[in-house]
C-alpha cells in the first residue's frame, strides 16, 4: 500500500494522578525513553524504535484518562486538505500552534461525536532510535522494562461510534477492518479501523458515557516478547487485567494491564495485514467472547466496564 495521507498513530496525552510514580512506571516498567519536560509539567516519552521525539505525553490531573489522541500525516498539504474535508463534513476544527507540544509542529484538533479529541499533525522532530541511518546495527531488547517497539493504537469508548466512524472513513480515508454486532444483528457494538495495512490503528466501542479511554496499546515484536512483558509485570506487581492470550478479532496476542493511575494499557503483537480491497470481518453477538478472547471464549466483565 502506498503510504500517504494519514500515516499512523502519532501521540497520546494521558492523564495521571501522581507524576513521579508514573514517570518511574513508564521508564522502569514500560521501558520508554523520556525525551523532555515542558513548562506545563508534562513529561514526554518515546519507545525504543520510534524516531519521532514523542508518542506518549503524561499530564498530571485529578482524574485518569486521555486528553487527546493524534495521527501523523504525510505533509502539511495533507493536513490542510483533511481539515477542509472535516469542515465540509460539519466538524469544527482548531489549530494548535507549533511548539505547544515539545518538538511538534502545528496541529489540527477536532472532536469526535463520542467526546474524544483527535489531532492531526505533519511535523515532529526526528531524534532517531539510537541506531543511526547509515550502516545501523540491529535492535536488541536488552534495556530495562518491557520496551515496546511503538505506540500502536487506542480503543475509545463513547456513544455515537457510527458518527465517529463516518468521520474517519469519509474525512480521513480510514477503512473498516472488523466489527462486532449487538444482539439485534444490525447495530455495531464495536468497530476496528485502519489508516494503514495494520489490522487496526483506532477502535471504538459503544458506551453510555462519552470521552472514555479503554486502553492505549504498544506494539511488541514477538509472542516471546509478550511473555517477557508478563514476567516483568509480575516482578513489578503490575495489576494485570487479562493475558497473555490471543484475540480472535485482529488475531493479535495481548496482555491488558493498568498503570499506577488506573489507565489500561496493552502489549500487542501480530495481527494480520489489511488492504482496502478486503471485506470487513463481522462478529455476531453469540461469538463476541471468542472474538475478544479467543482462548477463553468468554468476556471478562471488568474488561468491558472499567474505563478512564
- Residues with Cβ within 8 Å of 156's Cβ and at least 6 positions away in sequence, in order, are 66, 69, 112, 114, 116, 164, 202, 203, 204, 205, 212, 213, 214
The distance between the two most distant Cα atoms of the chain, rounded to a whole number of Å, is 57
Does one domain contain both 22 and 108? Answer: yes
Our count of domains for the chain comes to: 2
Per-residue pLDDT tens digits for 144-193: 899 999 999 999 999 999 999 999 999 999 999 999 999 999 999 999 99
Chain segment 133-158, per-residue pLDDT in tens: 888 888 776 678 999 999 999 999 99
Task: Evaluate whether residue 68 is within a structural domain.
Answer: yes
301 shares a domain with 157:
yes
Query: Whats the size of the chain, residue-wise?
Result: 308
Confirm whether 142 is domain-assigned: no
* Residue 197 falls inside a structural domain: yes
pLDDT at 286 over 80: yes
Single out the residue of 163, 158, 155, 10 nearest to residue 74, CA to CA. Answer: 10
State the Cα–Cα distance between residues 292 and 106, nearest whole angstrom: 37
Tell me, yes or no, whether 116 and 154 share the same domain: no
Active-site residue among 81, 200, 279, 287?
A: 200
Residues 154 and 222 in one domain: yes
Residue 229 pLDDT > 70, yes or no? yes
DSSP string, 243-256: EEEE-SSTTEEEEE
What is the distance in angstroms between the CA of the first residue and the CA of the last residue of the chain? Answer: 35
Q: Annotated catalytic, 50?
A: no
Please name the residues in contact with 204: beta carbons below 8 A apart, sequence gap of 6 or more: 114, 155, 156, 157, 158, 161, 164, 165, 190, 191, 193
Q: Kindly tell me if the per-residue pLDDT of 271 is higher than 90.
A: no
Identify the domain containing residue 37 by its residue range: 6-121
Please give the DSSP secondary-structure letter assigned to residue 280. Answer: P
| 134 lies in some domain | no
Does any domain span residue 131? no
CATH number at residue 185: 3.10.180.10
Buried b (16+ CB within 10 A) or exposed e, 285-307: eeebbbbbbbeeeeeeeeeeebb
Q: Which of 90-94, 105-109, 257-261, 277-281 has the lowest mean pLDDT?
A: 277-281
pLDDT at 299 over 80: no
Cβ contact 3:74 at 8 Å: yes
Is 200 noted as a catalytic residue in this protein? yes
Decide if 247 is catalytic. yes
Do 95 and 21 reside in the same domain of the chain? yes
For residue 2, the model assigns a pLDDT of 52
- 140 within domain boundaries: no
> 137 lies in a domain?
no
Q: How far apart are CA 35 and CA 42, in angstroms?
A: 11
Q: State the DSSP code for 126.
A: B
Q: Are residues 270 and 173 in the same domain?
A: yes
* The model's pTM: 0.95
Asked if 256 is an active-site residue, the reply is: yes
Q: What is the SS3 assignment for 77?
A: helix
The residue annotated as part of the active site, out of 50, 207, 256, 274, is: 256
Which band of pLDDT confidence, cut at 50, 70 and 90, is reported for residue 219? Answer: very high
Tens digit of each residue's pLDDT (9 = 90 or more) over 21-36: 999 999 999 999 999 9
Write down the catalytic residue from 116, 153, 207, 214.
153
Q: Residue 1: is its pLDDT beyond 70?
A: no
186 in the same domain as 57:
no
Helix or strand run (H / E) with residue 81: helix 76-88
Cα-Cα-Cα-Cα torsion 294, 299, 302, 303, nearest 10 degrees, comes to 40
pLDDT of amino acid 273: 86
Residues 73 and 160 in one domain: no
Do 155 and 204 share a structural domain?
Answer: yes
Please compute the mean of the pLDDT values over residues 82-101 and round it to a whole number: 97
Residue 139 DSSP one-character state: P
- Going by their DSSP bridges, the two strands 212-219 and 264-270 should be labelled as parallel
Under a CB-based contact definition with an 8 Å cutoff, are residues 287 and 297 in contact? no
- Do 43 and 156 share a domain, yes or no? no
Q: Determine which one of 50, 83, 119, 266 is catalytic.
A: 266
229 within a domain of the structure (yes/no): yes
Q: Do 297 and 155 lie in a common domain?
A: yes
Does one domain contain both 113 and 176?
no
Amino acid at each position: 500500500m502506498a503510504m500517504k495521507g494519514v500515516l499512523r498513530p502519532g501521540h497520546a496525552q494521558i492523564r495521571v494522578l501522581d507524576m513521579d510514580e508514573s514517570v518511574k512506571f513508564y521508564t522502569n516498567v514500560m521501558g520508554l525513553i523520556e525525551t523532555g519536560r515542558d513548562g506545563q509539567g508534562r513529561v514526554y516519552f518515546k519507545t525504543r524504535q520510534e524516531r519521532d521525539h514523542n508518542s506518549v505525553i503524561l499530564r498530571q490531573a485529578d482524574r485518569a484518562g486521555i486528553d487527546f489522541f493524534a495521527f501523523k500525516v504525510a505533509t502539511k498539504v495533507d493536513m490542510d486538505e483533511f481539515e477542509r474535508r472535516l469542515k465540509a463534513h460539519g466538524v469544527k476544527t482548531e489549530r494548535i500552534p507549533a511548539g505547544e507540544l515539545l518538538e511538534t509542529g502545528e496541529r489540527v484538533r477536532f472532536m469526535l461525536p463520542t467526546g474524544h479529541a483527535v489531532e492531526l499533525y505533519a511535523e515532529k522532530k526526528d531524534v532517531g532510535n539510537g541506531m543511526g541511518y547509515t550502516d545501523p546495527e540491529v535492535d536488541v531488547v536488552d534495556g530495562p522494562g518491557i520496551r515496546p517497539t511503538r505506540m500502536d493504537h487506542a480503543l475509545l469508548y463513547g456513544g455515537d461510534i457510527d458518527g465517529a466512524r463516518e468521520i474517519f472513513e469519509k474525512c480521513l480515508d480510514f477503512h473498516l477492518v472488523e466489527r462486532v454486532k449487538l444482539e439485534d444483528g444490525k447495530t455495531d457494538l464495536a468497530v476496528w479501523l485502519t489508516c494503514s495495512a495494520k489490522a487496526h490503528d483506532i477502535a471504538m466501542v459503544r458506551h453510555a458515557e462519552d470521552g472514555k479511554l479503554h486502553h492505549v496499546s504498544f506494539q511488541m515484536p514477538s509472542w516471546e516478547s509478550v511473555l517477557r512483558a508478563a514476567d516483568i509485570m509480575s516482578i513489578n506487581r503490575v495489576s494485570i487485567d487479562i493475558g497473555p492470550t490471543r484475540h480472535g478479532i485482529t488475531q493479535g496476542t495481548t496482555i491488558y494491564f493498568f498503570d499506577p493511575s488506573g489507565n489500561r494499557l496493552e502489549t500487542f503483537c501480530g495481527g494480520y495485514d489489511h488492504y482496502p480491497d478486503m471485506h470487513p470481518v463481522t462478529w455476531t453477538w453469540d461469538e463476541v467472547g471468542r472474538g475478544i478472547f479467543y482462548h477463553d471464549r468468554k468476556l471478562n466483565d471488568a474488561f468491558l466496564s472499567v474505563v478512564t
